[in-house]
Amino acid sequence: MTRGLPWLGLGLLILTQICYPLTGGDTRAAVTVITVALGYLLSVSHAAITRGPRVATALVLVTTGGGLLVEAIGVATGVPFGDYAYSDALGPKIAGVPVVIPLAWTWMAWPAWLAAVRLVRYPIPRILVAGVGLAAWDLFLDPQMVAQGYWTWAHPSPGLPGVPDVPLGNYAGWLVVAVLMMALFHALDGPTSPADDAPMYALYLWTYFSSILAHAAFLGLPASAGWGALAMGLVAIPLAYRVRA
């Protein structure tokens, strides 16, 4: 019974995300916050159910706590992402960072790690694949959130072709932070069957394919749809084939 809860949580998350392109303004901001909160609860609860409270606690400390720390440093100093600032649209802040932002790091860090566990046997390549799997998500996330005015960059150039509002240095910063987080994860994973992690594989693949569709067809962001498809596809496509096999 307990192991079926992640599937229920994933279904609720998907239904909420479907509402995003159908809304606007303050309602869309509220949907964004609810989506992140649901994703956070889904990942943390899955870690607790399949690996136990020690791993779930470590996940929160490394990604939620670490995410808040690196975001606070980033807002204050411009390192490692560049000079940026959050609007008030996403709710209360700690040290200039909306409370919901560190939750987003946890939400996607866990499925990215489990995808790498499924794909790669050896520790160092696994850490690198997991870091890429998390950082590549930002090629969807940042353009989408900047388009909504949830945060802005003081110096967005140079950027990717077709994505003028997000600097290249931001993606490099994401990759460095993501790899460091995943290096800490190396000692956390415990033995479970692939069936236990299936909801997280589904979460990662849903995020990938739905982001491509949303950016290309609903949000008017075709360039980020393409860049995100290429980058996140480095992990998502092999994962899809491995899960199918």
Q: What is the pLDDT of residues 123-179, one digit of tens each?
A: 999 999 999 999 999 999 999 999 999 999 999 999 999 999 999 999 999 999 999
How confident is residue 2, by pLDDT bands cut at 50, 70 and 90? confident
Whole-number percent of the chain with pLDDT over 70: 97
Whole-number percent of the chain with pLDDT over 90: 91
Question: Residue 190: is its pLDDT beyond 80?
Answer: no
Where do the structural domains in the chain lie, given as residue ranges?
A: 2-244
The answer, as to whether pTM is greater than 0.85, is yes
How confident is residue 192, by pLDDT bands cut at 50, 70 and 90? low
Tell me what the mean pLDDT of segment 200-222 comes to: 98
DSSP-assigned letters across all residues of the chain: -GGGHHHHHHHHHHHHHHHGGG--HHHHHHHHHHHHHHHHHHHHHHHHHHH-HHHHHHHIIIIIIHHHHHHHHHHHH-TTT-SEEE-STT--EETTEETHHHHHHHHHHHHHHHHHHHH--SHHHHHHHHHHHHHTTHHHHHHHHHHTTSEEES---SB-TT-TTSBHHHHHHHHHHHHHHHHHHTTT-----HHHHHHHHHHHHHHHHHHHHIIIIISS-HHHHHHHHHHHHHHHHHHHHHHH-
How confident is residue 186, by pLDDT bands cut at 50, 70 and 90? confident
How confident is residue 189, by pLDDT bands cut at 50, 70 and 90? low
The whole-number pLDDT of residue 243 equals 93
> What is the rounded CA–CA span in Å between residue 7 and residue 29?
25
The whole-number pLDDT of residue 183 equals 94
The whole-number pLDDT of residue 3 equals 75
